[in-house]
Amino acid sequence: MPEGLLSKEQMVKVLIEVHLNEAKLNQLRVPRDSTAKVYEIMERELLKHQGIEDSVYRKSFQYYLDRPMLMEEVYTVVVDSLSLRERLLNTK
């Protein structure tokens, strides 16, 4: 892994939160352009909360996109984690 990029574990953590934010936005009944603006704010806050610079996230995301096998590994964990959360919520 090149220096200055997010590890697989960090990328998984960020992407889980990104997808949870997207799910929250999908529940809103607002125009698409408004959703995009809100998403930008949510993403900025997410990265700030996790102590990740926007540029590092973008470079890391591109790094994984350019390496489909690595991205698949990351998304396998993301999907499994989100599925587990959903099952746990449905059992309550």
**How do residues 49-60 score in pLDDT, each as one tens digit?**
999 999 999 999
User: Would the pTM of this model clear 0.85, i.e. be above it?
Assistant: yes
The Cα–Cα gap between 17 and 78 comes to 9
Average pLDDT of the residues of the chain: 92
CA distances from 70 to 1, 15, 49 (A): 11, 14, 25
The residue written with tokens 């059992």 in the block is: 91
Task: Give the model's pLDDT for residue 28.
Answer: 81
Residue 89 has pLDDT above 90, yes or no: no
77-82 mean pLDDT: 96
The Cα 57–Cα 62 span in angstroms is 9
Residues contacting residue 10 through CB under 8 Å, at least 6 positions apart:
50, 52, 60
Higher pLDDT: 81 or 32? It is 81
Closest CA to 18 of 38, 42, 35, 52: 42
91 secondary structure, DSSP code: T
